[in-house]
Chains A and B, each alone.
Chain A
Amino acid sequence: MTDVSQARKQSSASARGEGFDLAKLLLEGRAFFALIVIIVVFSILSPYYLSVANFLTMASHVAIFGILAVGMLLVILNGGIDLSVGSTLGLAGVVAGFLMQGVTLTWLGVVLYPPVWVVAVIACMLGAGVGLINGVLIARFKVPAFVATLGVMYMARGLALLMTSGLTYNNLGGKPELGNTGFDALGFNRLFGVPTGVVVLVVIALIGSIVLNRTAFGRWLYASGGNERAAELSGVPVKTVQVSVYVLSGICAAIAGLILSSQLTSAGPTAGTTYELTAIAAVVIGGAALTGGRGNIRGTLLGAFVIGFLSDGLVIIGISSYWQTVFTGAVIVLAVLLNAVQYRRRSKLPASTGGQPTSQQRGKAEPANPAQGKTAR
């Protein structure tokens, strides 16, 4: 028996030898390599794919998912999930559309036409409000994140449908004499040739990256996602962090809603349906762990681009939308499989000493998975 275990040790040691570096590189950079493969394959299959114009169009599609995904990443890093972002996106768009039509204050007998920047701020505050509801339900009332955001998802969608009776606001242009023009600037227009949505995505990603890597909040988020109990005992305000990530995710959803309605020049109550799933997929493809504590902005952006460039490519080469769905699903499953491989490797490499024998010997409550370490909510 000793021989067997020694042989096993040797074989696993050699498996980690030099020859494994390429595999490791491919594994850790998988989202990046997947994106390159997608670009190369579609460039070969279609002459229209590889062009600046097409890339900018695709990027403006990616912007919506990318912004949602950055917000989703914060939530997932915390070990949660936010299913309400698609509905929040729709609701924010509808509220913006409603405000652009003018607000009639009957008791004053006036119609208010707020300028576009006010509309945008109100929409973002609305998104923050939806996120706050999620956060309070989850952090304060211990509702499981999945259920809380599922409920809020339905409520937000229902409110959006109620506000318009299911109809769509098609006139978002505003009038110069009312001083409320400029909704186009939020997503439809281009800044130095780049769609505004893409610019916004870049700005949000940069801010997100700085927050995650250079601020105390970022450190708190990684710590409480990695092990909430340890973080709390180290003085991390875990509840505040938890509420904040949902608020930030709600704001990201509202921004995406504004950009999408500007791109489409219309605000419909069903906009953004199932977008939350795409955002989760982007985060997962980007290598984040759904158990929390692992993931970064770079990976998430790559994930969003992989999904966006793949589905647009499939449209360009004329594959049926049913097949697109199948392909997207396959990519997600593959990504999760590779995540599992990566994290298993990482947890195997260090010799996990100490904790295991103690809990075995002393029979104290043993965490189901020390690496996970979060209490059930």
Chain B
Amino acid sequence: MIPAADTAPANGDAVLSARNIVMSYGGVHALKGVNFDIHRGKVTTLFGENGAGKSTLMKILSGVVTPTSGDIVLDGNLVSFSSSSDARDRGISIIHQELSLAPNLSVRDNIFMGRELRTRTGLDFAEESRQARALMADLEEDIDPMTLVEDLRLGQQQIVEIARALSVDSRILIMDEPTSALSATEVEVLFKVIRDLTSRGVSIVYISHHLEEALQITDYAVVLRDGAITATAEARDIDLEWIVRNMVGENFDLGSPPTGHAFGEVALSIEDVSVIDASGSGYSVVDHLSLDVRAGEIVCIYGLMGAGRTELLEAVAGRMPMAGGRALLEGEDVSRLSIAQRIAKGLVLVPEDRQRDGLVQTMTVGRNLSLASIEAFAKGLFLSRSRERELVEDSIRKVTVKTAGGNAMIGSLSGGNQQKVVIGKMLTTNPKVILLDEPSRGIDVGAKAEVFRLLSERAAQGLAVVFSTSEVNECLSIAHRIVVMRRGRISAEFGASATKEQIMAASGEAVVA
């Protein structure tokens, strides 16, 4: 393992290099002085867990965002990109992880969006169609260029996204999770295209959660962890085990499963639940899944993005409709109840995206904390301010929110403290079961440990806790039981003594012998 500071090779074959890149959002450092080389005519793969900073680094290299500090060196010259089209003009293009297609336009119009081919009198649709058809032939995909993107299945949309990046004849092509929705055959074709591109001198940056797959195609491996490069190597020198070890790193102690209390009755029983994808594709994101959680037990749901964790938790909490099955809270079917009724019965959800679903940005810390338990301080028709103040102060103390007080605006808090407010809001309702969707997302490691400590304390008092995560270390902290989800089903269950490799293998991330 090579420390970050030493990995600044002045390689002659680096076509594009990042030098000491720092990226900060508010107080959070997404990248902490990263040096990264893209090798000419080779495939360089960037490995790292969710949140390690991979996508941020790629966005910087493709001109989508400007780094807080640091340099970008292109062909030995210092450059700065004013926009992604500026970078594109210099031969760098990116296939984003999230699709950036206009669903209401045709495949052809999407491929040429923003750089339409012109004739003297207008657009050269014939030439655009011809090129689009040729690209589809290269990718061995039978898609008519005039098809609307919204009529394509997800994998085909990803092919269109790839075709768009290929259509600009770039020298450097960044692929951020290009295969997440592709079938095995489509991945084969993509790899053929990648080999063809590198043989023509195109440099590729590849990012994938499917470690084995990435190891097949890559020439160089670079591992990013918590915003810093932890290791670089040539692909022929390394194996999967090396990647996993460097990706996950040493365990930061996030706590251990609380002991000394007996589990109670089954608090939450998920029976044969299915959830249909909200985009209307008819695809089951959760597929006949069953799970029991007892009072006082902490269950971790591990899975890759798209495994169906969020959909499962939201369906149980009443946010998404169940296509089949039911959820029982202490033996009582709650599947038909509204979200408010489920909260009243003691089943609460802490959503994944706290900005979008967790917080009301226009309100104070106190009002956010008390939002879910208004009945607790209502006196007849009116709200009791003194009782609300007590409740808020009590809550701030219990979940240890660092704030100037209940009247501070919610936006003045750090990410970790905002997350504590969202969790505290739901704990204030005195739930029996709490579901937390990626509770550690975007918060620093200290706040993570505090959140986990809080959850284990409440579990010891009889609360049933279910939390999802995409970081293996977090599964191996306070959870009594680890459930791995893959493609909407439970692919494995482990006790607290499971290993990282076992968990990651069950999720489909890596198959380590």
- On A, residues with C-beta under 8 Å from B are 1-2, 5, 210, 214-216, 219-220, 222-223, 225-227, 229-237, 289, 292-294, 346-347, 349-365, 367, 370-371, 373
B356 near A370 with CB under 8 A, answer yes
Q: A294-B362, A355-B418 are in contact. List 8 more A-B contacts (CB 8 A).
A: A232-B319, A233-B351, A235-B344, A292-B362, A351-B412, A356-B26, A360-B59, A367-B355
- Known A351-B414, A362-B51, A362-B305; judge A219-B351 contact (CB<8 A): no
User: Can you name 9 A-B residue pairings with CB atoms under 8 Å?
Assistant: A5-B69, A236-B340, A294-B362, A346-B409, A350-B413, A352-B411, A354-B415, A358-B441, A363-B176
- The answer on a CB contact under 8 Å between B374 and A216 is yes
Residues of B near A355 (CB, < 8 A) are 353-355, 415, 418, 442
In the docked arrangement, what's the CA distance between A344 and B23, Å?
Answer: 23
- B340:A361 contact, CB within 8 angstroms: no
Stretch at the interface among B326-334, B378-386, B456-464: B378-386
Determine if B378 and A216 form an interchain contact, defined as CB atoms under 8 angstroms apart. yes
Instruction: Tally chain B residues at the interface, Cβ within 8 Å.
Output: 69
Tell me if B356 and A353 are in contact (CB < 8 A): no
**Inter-subunit contact B358/A230 (CB<8 Å):** yes
Judged by a CB distance under 8 angstroms, whether B43 is at the interface is no
Q: In the complex, A331 Cα to B363 Cα: how many Å?
A: 28
B153 → chain A, closest Cβ, in Å?
A: 19
Partner of A360, one of B56, B69, B177, B415: B56
B27 touches which one: A210, A351, A365 (CB < 8 A)? A351
| B343 interface contact, C-beta 8 A | yes
B68 adjacent to chain A (CB < 8 Å): yes
Task: Give the residue of B50, B412, B418 whose beta carbon is less than 8 angstroms from that of A361.
Answer: B50
CA distance A363 to B27 in the complex (A): 20
Residue of A210, A230, A293, A363 with highest tally of chain B CB at under 10 A: A230
**Which residue of A2, A231, A353, A362 is within 8 Å of B28 (Cβ)?**
A353
User: Which A residues touch B344, using CB under 8 A?
Assistant: 235
Contacts of A214 in B (CB 8 A): 382-383
The answer to whether A215 touches B381, judged by C-beta atoms less than 8 angstroms apart, is: yes
Contact check: which of B65, B359, B429 meets A227 at CB < 8 Å? B359
Would B383 and A234 count as touching, CB distance under 8 A?
Answer: no
Complex partner residue of B409 from A215, A220, A236, A350, CB under 8 angstroms: A350
Chain B contacts of A229 at CB under 8 A?
A: 351, 356-357
A354 touching B419, Cβ below 8 Å: yes
Q: How far apart are the CA atoms of A367 and B353 in the complex, in Å? A: 9
Assess whether B367 is interfacial by the CB under 8 Å rule: yes
Q: Is B372 an interface residue (CB 8 A)?
A: yes
Q: In whole Å, how far is A64's beta carbon from the nearest beta carbon of chain B?
A: 29
The answer to whether A361 and B371 touch (CB under 8 A), given A226-B360, A367-B355, A371-B362, is no
Q: With both chains docked as a complex, state the minimum distance between the C-beta of B69 and any C-beta of chain A, in angstroms.
A: 5
**Could you tell me the distance between the alpha carbons of A1 and B68 in the complex, rounded to whole angstroms?**
8
A5 pairs with B26, CB closer than 8 A: no
Q: Residue on B with the closest CB to A363? A: B97
| Complex contacts, A236 vs chain B, CB 8 Å | 340, 371
A353 touches B415 (CB 8 A): yes
Residues of A within 8 A of B371 (CB): 219, 223, 230-231, 234, 236
Q: Considering only CB atoms, which chain A residue lies closest to B371 in the complex?
A: A234
| B339: contacting residue among A5, A210, A233, A361, CB under 8 A | A233
CB proximity to A under 8 Å, residues B52-87:
52-56, 59, 65, 68-70
**Please, how many angstroms separate the alpha-carbon atoms of A293 and B381 in the complex?**
22
From residue A104, how far is it (CB to closest CB) to chain B in Å? Answer: 42
B358 touches A361 (CB 8 A): no
Least distance between A295 CB and chain B CB atoms (Å): 10
Let me know if A354 and B360 touch, CB within 8 A. Answer: no
> Does chain A have a CB within 8 A of B349?
yes
B95 CB → nearest A CB, Å: 12
When C-beta atoms are compared, the residue in chain B nearest to A240 turns out to be: B340
Q: Is the CB of B340 within 8 A of A363?
A: no
Q: What is the minimal beta-carbon distance from A184 to any residue of chain B, in angstroms?
A: 34
Residues of B contacting A210 in the complex (Cβ-Cβ under 8 angstroms):
382
A367–B360 alpha-carbon span in the complex (Å): 13
Q: Given known contacts A362-B55, A362-B441, is B28 in contact with A357 (CB within 8 Å)?
A: yes
CA gap between A237 and B358 in the complex, in Å: 16
- Is the beta-carbon distance between A357 and B381 smaller than 8 angstroms? no
By the criterion CB–CB under 8 Å, are A349 and B353 in contact? no
Which residues of chain B (386-417) have a CB below 8 Å from chain A?
409, 411-416
Q: Are B55 and A363 in contact (CB under 8 A)?
A: yes
Query: What's the minimum C-beta distance from B133 to chain A, rounded to whole angstroms?
Result: 30
Q: With A233-B349, A357-B28, A362-B441 in contact, is A367–B356 under 8 Å at CB?
A: yes
Interface check B259, CB cutoff 8 A: no
Tell whether, in the assembled complex, residue A353 and residue B25 are in contact, meaning their CB atoms are under 8 Å apart: yes
Q: Which residue from chain A places its CB closest to the CB of B71 in the assembled complex?
A: A1
A353 touches B26 (CB 8 A): yes
Shortest beta-carbon distance from A245 to chain B in Å: 16
Q: How far is it, in angstroms, between the C-alpha of A226 and the C-alpha of B409 when the chains are bound?
A: 13
| Distance from B311 Cβ to chain A, minimum over Cβ atoms (Å) | 13
In the complex, chain A residues whose CB is within 8 Å of the CB of B23: 357
Bound form: Cα–Cα A293–B319 in Å = 22
CA distance A365 to B97 in the complex (A): 11
* Alpha-carbon distance A227/B418, docked complex (angstroms): 15
Q: Nearest Cβ in chain B — how far from A265, in angstroms?
A: 38
Residues of B near A293 (CB, < 8 A) are: 360-363
Are A361 and B354 in touch, CB under 8 angstroms? no
4 smallest beta-carbon distances between A and B, as pairs: A354-B415, A358-B442, A350-B411, A353-B26
Candidate in B53, B317, B338, B411 with the most chain A CB atoms within 10 angstroms: B411
Residues in B neighbouring A351, C-beta threshold 8 A: 26-27, 412, 414
Residues of B within 8 A of A235 (CB): 339-340, 343-344, 372, 429
Contact B361 A373 (CB under 8 A): yes
Q: A353 to B27, Cβ gap below 8 A? A: yes
Contact yes or no, B362 A361, CB < 8 A: no
Is B352 interfacial (CB 8 A cutoff)?
yes
How far is B360's CA from A351's CA once the two chains are assembled, in angstroms?
A: 16
Asked if B487 is an interface residue, CB under 8 A from chain A, the answer is no
Question: How far is it, in angstroms, between the C-alpha of A293 and the C-alpha of B368 when the chains are bound?
Answer: 13
CB distance from B365 to the nearest CB of A (A): 11
The contact string, 1 if C-beta is below 8 Å from chain A, for chain B 302-343, is 000100000000000101000000000000000000111001
Which residues of chain B come closer than 8 Å to A352, judged between CB atoms?
Answer: 25-26, 411
Give every chain B residue within 8 A of A215 (Cβ-Cβ): 381-383
A354 with B30, Cβ < 8 A, contacts A5-B68, A371-B362 known? no
In angstroms, how far is the closest chain A Cβ from the Cβ of B227? 9
| Nearest CB of chain B from residue A349's CB, rounded to whole Å | 7
- A358: chain B residues at CB < 8 Å are 51, 415, 441-442
Question: Does B425 belong to the interface (CB within 8 Å)?
Answer: yes
- Cα–Cα distance between A346 and B51 once the two chains are bound (Å): 28
> For residue A2, which residues in chain B have a CB less than 8 angstroms away from its CB?
68-69
